[in-house]
Structure 1
Amino acid sequence: MADSATPRTADTVAVAFSGGLDSTALLHATIRAAVDEQRVLAFHVHHGLLPEADGWAAHCEAVAQELGAGFACTRLDGAPGRGDSVEAWARDGRHRALHDMTLAAGADLLLLAHHRQDQAETFLLQAMRGAGSAGLAAMPRAQWRDGICWARPWLDQPRALIHAYALQHGLRWIEDPSNGDARYARNRLRQSLWPAFPAAEAGLAQAARWAQQAHDLATEVAAEDLAGIATPERLDLTRLASLSPARARNALRAWLAGHMQAPASLVERLLSEWRPGLTASWPAPGGEVHAYRDGLFWAAASPQPSQAEVVDLARPGLHFQPRWGGAWLVEAANPGIAAQRLTRLTQRGRRGGEQFQRAFGTVARSLKKACQEAGLPPWRRSGPLLFDAAGQLVAVAGLGMDARAFADQDEPGLSVRWLEDSALLQSEGAAPKPA
């Protein structure tokens, strides 16, 4: 058992340590397998859900000290809301706490004590929820997330072997009374499935491995199909439709996954409802997806202020507007707008009747017409708009500066350009932030 505890060499190895049988055995085996000056840390998450939790934290600290591991504990804040899943709340909070403790310790390897029975249960629960290949793949042996490798070195080991290891080494562990609570689906499986079908564990775990391979293959195919038809900002729906139905569905699901956890119903609606030339929108988790000029676009939900506000853009840099979901990028430019004209701007949404002049020598057009001519999608036409102290339109998000606001040719000027949230990561280094 000890040889399989550490999947790779690292200066510091963290172990998620609940104090139960599995994590106690994993911590012991990891310490025995540590090499040279390798440091082993035990991280405990105090959920605060049961009266025994304080005693469990003390037990874990004592055991870690006995075994020669460092120890850290995080207590979760708050509690599940009414109607929330206690299991989901605890799982999400535990993941955040383990992530933060691992980074704080300067480690990038976190070991989890999941074993073959856990894998089989996860596969079965996902299947009962109607999951696809990604869900049926259950838990990966190792996965990098946010700078940390979450590794499960015992994923193929039966729990009986772990139990025998703990007895052999005289380990002591916690028995969580909630493990017998039949209100939780995983506990019901343990109480009914395994006693009735003891051989099912190995078969279900094997099925999860097949699902993982199928998912990996689907991911590779999607990457190839999307390479020529998509960017993170736009998916070419005409070219998507040229794929076979299975590959189109797979590619669309992969593209949406870059923005949200897309429900299967959304994938099916997009494929069945879109037709060439359609302009339409579909609600999605965290925002909307839009079909426009035969492309598919994602727009995150961004509640916009109903009232006008005053902003100062007289200095170069990124001027963040979180309530609008973006920022104004101000840079020196010629032609540009005089700095004094940008000191007190009114920022608001469209109200109707605004006119915009695209360039010198052109005719001012209605803002709606200007947006159409520029190919600005309908969902990006609401603003923000900037007006100077005299009420003259200065700039429009997505269109740029109004030519009527430009300074004289020999006068120093500033350009004003709107950046959506999706573009900020690429352009934050483009200019200094204002002091």
Structure 2
Amino acid sequence: MADSATPRTGDAVAVAFSGGLDSTALLHAVTRAVTGQRVIALHVHHGLQPQADAWAAHCERIARQLGAGFACTRLSGSPARGDSVEAWARAGRHRALHDMALAAGADLLLLAHHRQDQAETFLLQALRGAGTAGLAGMPRQQWRDGLCWARPWLDHPRDLIRAYAEQHGLRWIEDPSNADTRFARNRLRQTLWPAFPGAEAGLAQAARWVQQADELAAEVAAADLASLSTPERLDLAALSRLLPARASNALRAWLARHMAAPASLVERLRTEWHPGTTASWPAPGGALHAYRGGLFWAPGSCEPPPPSAIDLSRPGLHSQPGWQGAWLVEPASPGIPPARLARLTQRARAGGEQFQRAPASVPRSLKKACQEAGLPPWRRGGPLLFDEAGLIAVAGLGMDARAFAEKDAPQLAVRWQEDSALLQSEGEARVAA
């Protein structure tokens, strides 16, 4: 088992146990190698085969015989129309293994992937046109959500694992779906390895080289982004001065902080942006905006929520998830009379609104007020607060001076916070507490 920079604190070691040759051999080896900790076998019942119940019973029996604990989760539901059965099963299996391992008190989960699995993963990713992250294949060890996923046999050929199982007289399940050529991995196993018996080692070695290249690319991207970006903004002008490959690398790394960006989006951003461009691109989970030489990420739907009633007459943080932010209400001067904040309407900008920034100023069109304040175009849509008498406040601009209370009257200040600012203020409050 590989060492980890993250200290382990769990009192159990978990083994993903399908009952097949590889996981049976791994469970046998682990129960003999681990001392001072419990070993627990984790089985995922996919419900895809008529023998699935019998397989679960077999796995529990073998685990008990080997002196390991046992846990099993049955997946519910089925793949959505058009979805891959393999992808659905893989995602469900990962969730189930994670939850069972943590419930058992384990922070180390061992998987029986071997060299042939790695070679197949590399080749399948290459056929899909994957980048370095995909071609790197499976990591030997990776911490995710409090659990270390480790593959101690990733460099071992499968023949060695079979020899180990036969030497110890182990019994395992033969899954008939492994012969189903509808699945791409099975087609590879039945055609590639017999025709190119030496390919396994070469492809696995290629995956190791790509892993190193991917790690190097991540290090270079981190160094570039340290000077090119903030959590909210990427400097496109400075990015464009890098070599194209380095610029793409940094751009992909910045986008990965916010979404799983398709390669086509990265290419569009690089080719469609030019100095002085103001533009927007739809993206998974939100939109990207180029404005004043920077690239910004705005999560959420492009369509504003419908108008709604809201009561802001009490101090506090009033979260508005549909608007990706919150109204912060606190006693301050200048402010709004609390009675005017009790029955408000919150809505998007409709056009024609006027905003007065200070008592001594004159009302201006909301469009001009946003421009003067340097508010980016995608943050000019709202929300806006109204009472029966008129405009109260605008997200990003503040309170309308026409709604201010008299000097000595009770008053509350209303201020909008974007989600990022909201998270920061909550974190500061927790530290102060």
Normalising by structure 2, we get a TM-score of: 0.94
Q: Does 1:207 pair with 2:206?
A: yes
* Bigger shift: residues 189-198 or 359-368: 359-368
**Equivalent residue for 2:123?**
124
Contact 1:235/1:295 (<8 A) preserved: yes
- Cα deviation, residue 326, structure 1: 2.4
**Matched residues in 2 for 1:401 and 1:144: separation?**
46
Q: Which residue is 2:405 aligned to?
A: 407
1:15 aligns with 15
Instruction: Indicate conservation of the 8 Å contact 1:400/1:416, yes or no.
Output: yes
How much does 1:403 deviate? 2.3
Match of 2:309 in 1: 310
Answer yes or no: is 1:176 the counterpart of 2:175. yes
Tell whether the 8 Å contact from 2:357 to 2:363 is kept in structure 1 after alignment.
yes
Is the 2:115–2:154 contact (alpha carbons within 8 Å) kept by the matching residues of 1?
yes
Distance 1:26 1:416, change over 3 A: farther
CA contact (8 A) 1:5 1:30 kept: no
Aligned AA (2:97): L
Q: Which residue of 2 is the match for residue 156 of structure 1? A: 155
Distance 1:327 1:117 in 2: 51
Secondary structure (helix, strand or coil) at the match of 2:327 reads strand
1:227 aligns with 2:203: no
- What secondary structure is seen at the aligned counterpart in 2 of 1:100? helix
Tell which deviates more after alignment, 106-115 or 304-313: 304-313
Match of residue 323 from structure 1: 322
Secondary structure, in 3 states, of the residue corresponding to 1:336? strand
Q: Which residue of 2 aligns with 1:271?
A: 270
Selected match of 2:396 from 379, 382, 398: 398
AA aligned to 1:415 is: A
Counterpart AA for 1:401: M
In structure 2, give the amino acid aligned to 1:155: L
Deviations 1:346-394 (A, max 9, x none): 1111111111122232222111111111111111211111112x24211
- Is the Cα contact below 8 Å between 1:123 and 1:136 reproduced in 2? yes
What does residue 190 of structure 1 align with?
Answer: 189
Which is further off, 244-253 or 417-426? 417-426
Aligned twin of 1:77: 76
Matches within 5 A, 1:13-412: 13-36=13-36, 38-302=37-301, 304=303, 307-388=306-387, 390-412=388-410
CA distance in 1, matches of 2:103, 2:399: 45
Pair 1:428 & 2:416 matched: no
In 2, are the aligned partners of 1:331 and 1:431 still within 8 Å (CA)?
no
Partners of 2:2 and 2:141 within 8 A in 1: no
Q: 1:267 to 1:402 in 2, by over 3 A?
A: same
CA RMSD of aligned residues (A): 1.9
Q: CA deviation at 1:146?
A: 1.6
Residues 28 and 53 (structure 1), Cα distance of their counterparts in 2 relative to 1, 3 Å cut? same
Count of aligned positions:
427
- Give the Cα–Cα distance (whole angstroms) in 2 for the partners of residues 121 and 178 of structure 1: 17
Which secondary structure does the structure 2 equivalent of 1:114 belong to? coil
Counterpart CA distance in 2 for 1:321 and 1:305 is 12
Partner deviation per Cα, 1:50-96 (whole Å, 9 max, x = no partner): 11111111211222222222221111121012211000111111111
Distance 2:130 2:234 in 1: 25
Assess if the C-alpha contact under 8 Å between 1:350 and 1:382 holds in 2. yes
SS in structure 1 at match of 2:298 = strand
**Equivalent residue of 1:418, what SS?**
strand
Q: Percent identity?
A: 76
Q: Distance in 1 between matches of 2:133 and 2:70?
A: 34
> Quick check: 1:318–1:428 contact (8 Å CA) kept in 2?
no
TM-score norm. by structure 1 comes to: 0.93
Once residues 194 and 302 of structure 2 are traced to their aligned partners in structure 1, the CA distance between those partners, rounded to angstroms, is 53
Aligned-residue offset at 1:303: 5.6
- Which sections of structure 1, spanning at least 5 residues, go unmatched? none
Change (3 A) 1:424 1:78: farther
Structure 2: unaligned runs, 5 residues or longer: none
Q: Could you report, residue by residue, the CA deviation over 1:250-274 in whole angstroms, capped at 9, with x for unpaired residues?
A: 1111111111111222112111111
